[in-house]
Amino acid sequence: MGAIGLRRGRENVHIATPSPNVQSDISATTPKPLTPFVEHFQSELQNRTVTPKSLEPKSRFRHDIECDGHNYRFSRVLGRGAHGVVRLAYDGSKDRPVAIKIIDRTQLLIDGVPVAKDEKEDGYISDICRERDALRLAGATGSPFLPTLLSFFQDLQYFYLVMPRYYISLSDRLEELRNSNQVMDMAELRLHAAEIVLAVEALHHYGCFHCDIKPENLMFTEKGHLVLVDFSLSEVGSGILEAGGRGTPGYIPPEALDGRTHYSGYAADIYAMGVVLLQMYLCPRQNDDIFNDNGDITVPVRKTWHHNEEVAGSLIQELMEKNPDVRLPMGIIKAHPFFHPGLDWCKVQNMEYGSLHIPRCTSPEAHHTRNFHSTVRRHSQVNGTMCT
């Protein structure tokens, strides 16, 4: 099920503020303040340098590109969206696979002029900047459970966001358990829950709110640790979100849809984190079995657990409280009996606990295509052909 973001009338492929043609724009290690898009973009147009190959009308997509000392060779598509794709690529200069999010900028421009005609459109372009800034901020936290934006560059047709390559998602892991009719081991569940908590805590400490926490956005590293990815719906700043909901149905908190004008991004992330823990807790049950017809959440006791099932259920219920004012804050979450005794948060942060689940998919070419687009907004999407 896809995510929704009802703030604006576009899909959530949020891309970064433009920079000169095929030039790096990732020198800063801390987020830059947002600037009005049109003014900034027109300034960048004056300084743009263009390679002849970028101007070839029949060259819709370049399968090799050089930027800032890196030579990227593109491979298969890992995910698709209305405005772009995520492709597997090989960074020859670093001898490593990477994932590159590629967005067709021509869908946002007409004859080189921004399509922003009103405040809503201009705001949509600001959302593009927000994803880049959120990724920069995530990398600046130093958390091993958050991604790093390795590079950002562009040519006349595409924006490119270069990120680390991950292999399978928590959603894949849960599906694997369902297919084999197995529960998630208690130690595995507790470790991954702790990693998610630390990822969200680091983001919130730096004033960033993810707004789309779900198993599909939690990726495994090759050593089996979780990383929270996809910041296309994130909010940097106060964390006060407009009414209507932002995120994926089922993970959006009830207060986002109850008629109030604003709600807390902090409390929304806590709620979504609770839903993810609930799915791990109830596996191998299907997601459709989790929610009642009236939207209430019931956390049953897992009979396969011989201990700690009550405190696990208690933690999940307190994370998913209907009243956002009484949801657990981070300090109390980390002190919850579900994690104690036995869990050392410093060891989790330093990844000193070995993961009980190592992804089988060690070859970059072996990963199957995933669908990454996750937003349905109020207005129709922009049609157009993306990378082929």
Q: Report residue 209 as tokens.
A: 């709110």
Q: How far is CA 186 from CA 20, 169, 276, 281, 340, in A?
A: 50, 19, 15, 9, 13
Closest by CA position to 73, among listed 362, 365, 372? 365
Residues 241, 265: Cα–Cα separation, whole Å: 6
Residues 88, 259: Cα–Cα separation, whole Å: 42
Tokens 């991004």 locate to 265
For 213, phi then psi, to 5°, come to -75, 125
Residues 218, 117: Cα–Cα separation, whole Å: 36
Closest by CA position to 224, among listed 263, 178, 185? 185
**3-state class (DSSP) for residue 313:** helix
Closest by CA position to 161, among listed 205, 201, 130, 204? 130
Query: Strand pairing of 151-154 and 113-114?
Result: unpaired
Q: Report residue 351 as tokens.
A: 């990844």
Is 101 annotated in a binding site? The answer is: yes
Residues 288, 303: Cα–Cα separation, whole Å: 20
Query: Strand pairing of 113-114 and 109-110?
Result: antiparallel
Rounded to 10 deg, the angle between the 265-282 and 170-179 helix axes is: 20
Instruction: Show binding-site residues.
Output: 101
Could you list the residues known to form a binding site for ATP, using ranges. Answer: 101
